[in-house]
């Protein structure tokens, strides 16, 4: 059984049922039934048209459920419209599913889970393992999301920015359990890029590829974090970096700058530098200025302070940092780094220790604690 093929066909089959008039929840249930039937039948009798087979079986499952419903009489007209078996239409409605799963009435976590289920083709168990929650909890989350979007029809273009935000959230979930969500997000964004010609879609795909290319260098053999400046760049995936940069250059040439293109440009400058010392920090500051203009995000301005500290010296970085809210996440860690660069080891060690107390990620907490200990050891010599 080709699991990859089934997952790639799932969103298209679901979209066909929705386009024919099935509400999302019922259509999704019917498609899952069809997938179970495919797992049972295909190994011994593979179909010539896998998508057409799935559409036919899913539609029949949907009609069976419709006939059994208490409102059967109101749906008889729809039952009479059952299409004849045969090859599925070549129309790709997958894009509709992206917009449906990114519906503004859904919470971010529900939108991500529904996208992974409906568009990604992951099982509820796989999604639950990725989020490290019980399967029953994830099933309830997905069921609530399906009920929320049931009956929603698209008579106008969806919000691409919302779809991209959901995919970005999927990517940032990273890896846990048996599902690599970063790789899954790249697969889904590739699929979206093939369906819609939009520079920000290309920008997001470029950003994902460049970040993902550095993954092997981010951790040491013992699992500890390795800062960007200390990473072994020979472990980076140069093919993915080259692909991401090519996508970015094509998107930027269209002169419709968006936040994901700006983020990708910053990532590209890091990835393109042969060594950390050769990083073009001045240009990175300029891109952070563009990104701040586009987003007005305090987190962007926090990262800009680090870039200013590299480009113009730690005192300039601390001055930029002083203009920001001290309660921002990672503010204290950034302050510690800039004080360390400025030679104030006592202040840096104290701030690293403070930052470690509030770090939400265990690996980051260990990293900050080790930096504080290292600076204290240097001071005591």
**Which residue in this structure is represented by tokens 């969806």?**
158
Give residue 82's pLDDT. 53
Determine the Cα–Cα distance for residues 11 and 24; give it in Å rounded to an integer.
12
If you average pLDDT over residues 234-238, what whole number do you get? 95
Q: Which of 67-76, 127-136, 342-351 has the highest mean pLDDT?
A: 342-351
116-144 per-position pLDDT tens digit: 888 877 788 888 877 777 888 888 888 88
pLDDT at 75: 41
Given a contact cutoff of 8 angstroms between Cβ atoms, the answer to whether 285 and 304 are in contact is: yes
pLDDT on residue 149: 83
Q: What is the arithmetic mean of pLDDT over 329-355?
A: 96
pLDDT mean over 289-315: 96
Look up residue 37 and give its two tokens. Answer: 């039937």
Tens-digit pLDDT profile for residues 15-60: 898 888 888 888 888 999 999 899 999 998 889 999 999 999 999 9
Span 92-104, mean pLDDT?
75
Token pair for residue 80?
């009479």
Residue 70 has pLDDT above 70, yes or no: no
* CA-derived radius of gyration, the chain: 25
Helical segments of the chain, H only: 3-19, 24-41, 50-68, 76-79, 94-101, 108-118, 124-131, 135-149, 160-172, 181-195, 199-213, 238-252, 259-272, 281-295, 298-312, 314-322, 331-341, 345-358, 362-379
Q: What is the pLDDT of residue 370?
A: 94
Q: pLDDT at position 147, please?
A: 85
pLDDT band for position 94 (cuts 50, 70, 90): low
Q: What is the mean pLDDT of the chain?
A: 86
Give me the pLDDT at residue 134, please. 87
3-state secondary structure 116-145: HHHCCCCCHHHHHHHHCCCHHHHHHHHHHH
Mean pLDDT value across residues 180-205: 90
**pTM for this model (two decimals):** 0.76
User: What pairs with residue 219 in β-bridges?
Assistant: 225
Of 208, 234, 230, 207, the residue nearest 219 (C-alpha): 230
User: In this predicted structure, what is the pLDDT of residue 283?
Assistant: 98
Q: What is the percent of the chain with per-residue pLDDT over 70, rounded to a whole number?
A: 89
Q: What is the pLDDT of residue 199?
A: 96
- What span, in angstroms and rounded, lies between the C-alpha atoms of 347 and 338? 10
């Amino acid at each position: 059984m080709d699991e990859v093929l089934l997952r790639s066909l799932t969103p298209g089959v679901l979209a066909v049922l929705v386009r024919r008039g099935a509400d999302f929840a019922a259509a999704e249930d019917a498609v899952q039934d069809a997938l179970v039937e495919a797992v049972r039948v295909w190994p011994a009798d593979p179909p010539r048209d896998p998508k057409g087979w799935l559409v036919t079986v899913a539609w029949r499952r949907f009609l069976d459920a419709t006939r059994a419903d208490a409102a059967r009489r109101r749906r008889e007209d729809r039952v009479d419209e059952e299409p004849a078996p045969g090859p599925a239409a070549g129309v790709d409605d997958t894009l509709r599913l992206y917009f449906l799963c990114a519906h503004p009435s859904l919470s971010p976590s529900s939108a991500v889970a529904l996208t992974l289920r409906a568009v990604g083709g992951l099982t509820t168990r796989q999604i639950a393992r990725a989020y490290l929650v019980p399967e029953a909890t994830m099933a309830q989350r997905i069921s609530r999301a399906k009920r929320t979007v049931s009956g929603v029809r698209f008579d106008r273009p969806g919000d691409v920015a919302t779809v991209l935000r959901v995919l970005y959230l999927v990517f940032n979930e990273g890896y846990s359990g048996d599902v690599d969500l970063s790789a899954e997000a790249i697969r889904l964004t590739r699929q979206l890029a093939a369906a819609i010609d939009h520079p920000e879609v290309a920008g997001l795909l470029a950003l994902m590829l460049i970040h993902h290319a550095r993954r092997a260098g981010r951790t040491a053999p013992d699992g500890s974090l390795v800062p960007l400046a200390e990473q072994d760049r020979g472990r980076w995936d140069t093919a993915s970096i080259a692909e991401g940069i090519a996508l970015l250059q094509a998107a930027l040439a269209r002169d419709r700058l968006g936040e994901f293109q700006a983020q990708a440009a910053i990532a590209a400058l890091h990835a393109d530098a042969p060594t950390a010392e050769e990083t073009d920090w001045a240009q990175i500051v300029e891109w952070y200025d563009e990104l701040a203009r586009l987003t007005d995000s305090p987190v962007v301005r926090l990262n800009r302070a680090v870039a200013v500290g590299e480009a113009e010296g730690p005192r300039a970085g601390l001055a930029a940092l002083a203009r920001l809210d001290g309660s921002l996440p990672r503010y204290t860690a950034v302050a510690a780094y800039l004080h360390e660069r400025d030679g104030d080891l006592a202040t840096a060690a104290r701030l690293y220790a403070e930052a470690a107390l509030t770090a939400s990620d265990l690996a980051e907490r260990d990293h900050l604690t080790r930096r504080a200990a290292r600076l204290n050891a240097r001071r005591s010599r």
